[in-house]
Structure 1
Amino acid sequence: MSSSLAQPLPWLLLLLALAVFTAETASAAELEVEPLGGKAPQREFDYFALALQWPGTYCQRTRHCCSNNACCRGSNAPTIFTIHGLWPDYNDGTWPACCTKSRFDPKEISTLTDALEKYWPSLSCGSPSTCQGGKGTFWAHEWEKHGTCSSPVFRNEYDYFLATLNIYFKYNVTTVLNEAGYVPSNTEKYPLGGIVSAIEDAFHMSPLIICSKFCGGASPMLL
């Protein structure tokens, strides 16, 4: 695979709805989380969406570098789909967010740091907002906004990040596309329908592809 991050693949974000990891697999009938701001208890979510991003497209927006931006790693920059997040979602198109007061603690996932840096890196120098009114790392944002809503399937920060890595390895989109002949290229153009079909054939689910530019007539699109 080419190490160049200028590959003009047509997507920025790819979502897989993972019905096999729904809250229904847990024994609890309702979420038992501490609500923020005195709100009513969070209702149980319906499924997880595994959100992946393509660095070759995302990193084209890089204007300056910093130590936490994986786009700036030179020859070690990611050339595979990387994780954006694992998001609890509802069937009606909405989603829960910031479900508890649990703050991100990097010590809780210290044994996962190497894997997270490789497969779940930050692709920008910005500090995204957290649920506690401040700024934090990319991982802090994902845990506080989405991970805290993953109970009762995942009860703590470590379990959430470890499970996300395992799900990412199980649904290896990069490998599936490479084996189907869709490899990064600065010149080759691939039919979007073929890319979608390869993913559907491998995982028996249809991806939601959100394009960085005009892509097949609509952006975003549900396929």
Structure 2
Amino acid sequence: MKKISPLLVSLTAEAALLPIQFTLQDTLKGLSTDIWANEIKQCPIDIPFTCTNTTEIKNSCCFEYPGGVLLQTQFWDYYPPIGPDDMFTLHGLWPDRCDGQYDQFCDSSMEIESATKILESFGETELLAKMSKFWKNFNGNDESLWVHEFNKHGTCMTTIKESCYPKDTKPNQNIVDFYKKSVELFEELPTYEWLAENGIIPSNEQTYAKQQIEDTLSARFGQPVFIKCNRYNAIQEVWYFHHLRGSIVEGYYQPIPALLESQCPESGIKFIPKKNFKPPTPTNTDPSVPAPTGKVIRGVLKPEGQPGCLISNGHWYISGICAKFTLVKAEFGGYNVKSSKGYCKINNYGDFFCGSSVSPMQFAYDKEKGFLTFGGKTKWSAEKVPRGFNQVPISPGYDGPIEFHLKLDLQK
């Protein structure tokens, strides 16, 4: 059996005991190497919750890492209205890092083109019926959302890699398990039902306080949750945060406090019915005030507080003309970024790169501050400041000695 170093584990508050010393070898004594390597259901019962361990956990089939915070995310979409009138819709199951940052599209070899075909090949008609009912895409193409969620998030889950399953397992069982667990967790968190039980129901007249909504959901979930409102001060998203003991499929999901502050006003929150909603007519008629730019934003990307800017390949440069970048609303949230070279992504080296053959990734844009971010990482870094005609790659996060915000200077 592969040697695994001892772990010093502090038990969670539910145990309220002193730290104990144990080894995974002791826990797994008597199990064969094949079972340990391939059987996802044979994880030790004493393995710590994600993000609570004090030393490295060696077996990635039993310990979700680095995405140790699991978010179950739900949407209330009324414009256009999708899903049942008395139910939030499922958006996804996301593995965030313990600090709130996250990875995406982690393993291209795991990516799929059709969730429906895979689920049908396993006879999962009931699961597909549930997904068709409440795992909805606002544009009507539910399949594209299902595929996107697995390719973006499922490929970053270490405990559902095919190598974690018995050798005789039918291919794609891990993909089926991803969708099953996402639906199962969603059904255990009936947001609409919990709100209705406390008198919080959709209404065109009634409004609610943030504290009222948060307290209602937190009382049912067991920990503070994250709620998000849109530009109409209407509730639109609810996120439930968990730590995980064991694998994505068989593990125990422990509710934890949300890692983000809710993004809703203190009062006057609307819960808009999924029927006959009409957005308010804009009241601004002053010709001196620029009209809204719509879904496309253009500008120059500059490392804040540093010389130079980004050129069209995505590198930092100080001796040439700044490239113009376009931010376009992405289908599933956030923005796709594009230069004259093509779409931009974070490449396999962790660098920002734009090119003709690039499949776009989702970036976030803070309109108030003008910052471009990626994967929950608010700052960027580089190994050095460019000199002369040198081009320097930049990366999201704090891996380099030079740190900065990446600001978009808007262009007309």
TM-score (normalised: structure 2): 0.36
Matched residue, 1:188: 206
Residues 30 and 44 in structure 1, CA contact (< 8 A), matched pair in contact too: no
Alignment of structure 1 residues 1-150 onto 2, 5 Å:
29=58, 31=60, 43-56=65-78, 60=79, 62=80, 71=82, 77-101=84-108, 102-104=110-112, 105=114, 106-110=116-120, 111=124, 112-125=127-140, 137-150=144-157
> Matches of 1:125 and 1:153 in 2, distance apart?
29
SS at match of 1:52: strand
Q: Deviations over 1:78-117 (max 9, x none)?
A: 4411111110001212111112121223222232211101
Q: 1:126 to 1:181 in 2, by over 3 A?
A: same
- Aligned counterparts of 1:179 and 1:154: Cα–Cα separation in 2: 40
Q: Which residue of 2 aligns with 1:14?
A: none
The AA in structure 1 aligned to 2:147 is A
The answer for the alignment partner of 2:181 in structure 1 is 163
1:162-217 per-residue CA deviation (whole Å, 9 max, x = no partner) reads 0011101111111111111111112111112101000111111222222112649x
The whole-number CA distance in structure 2 between the counterparts of 1:122 and 1:89 is 22
Looking at structure 2, the residues matched to 157 and 121 of structure 1 have their Cα atoms a distance apart, in angstroms, of 18
Judge which range, 204-213 or 145-154, deviates more: 145-154
TM-score normalised by length of structure 1: 0.64
Instruction: Write the letter of the residue equivalent to 1:161.
Output: Y
Q: Letter of the 1:119 partner, please give it.
A: F
Higher helix share: 1
Whether 2:210 is the aligned partner of 1:208: answer no
What percentage of residue pairs aligned between the two structures are identical? 23
* Contact kept? 1:48, 1:89, Cα under 8 Å: yes
Q: How large is the Cα RMSD of the aligned pairs? A: 3.1
> Is the 1:89–1:95 contact (alpha carbons within 8 Å) kept by the matching residues of 2?
yes
Q: Which portions of structure 1, spanning 4 or more consecutive aligned residues, are displaced by more than 3 angstroms?
A: 22-25, 28-32, 76-79
Structure number with the bigger relative contact order (C-alpha 8 A, sep ≥ 6) is 1
- 1:96 maps to a residue whose letter is D
Post-superposition offset of 1:222? 1.0
1:41-76 superposed Cα distances (whole Å, 9 cap, x missing partner): x952111101100022xxx2x4xxxxxxx73xxxx7
Q: Which runs of 5+ in 1 are unaligned?
A: 1-21, 33-41, 63-69, 128-135
Classify the secondary structure of the residue corresponding to 2:224. coil
Cα deviation, residue 125, structure 1: 4.7
Q: Equivalent of 1:174, from 181, 185, 192?
A: 192
Write the distance in 1 (CA, Å) between the matches of 2:189 and 2:212.
18
Is 2:226–2:261's contact at 8 Å kept on the other side of the alignment?
Answer: yes
Change (3 A) 1:179 1:77: closer
Unaligned 5+ segments in structure 2 are 1-48, 163-173, 235-259, 263-412
Letter aligned with residue 195 of structure 1: I
Distance 1:164 1:88 in 2: 12
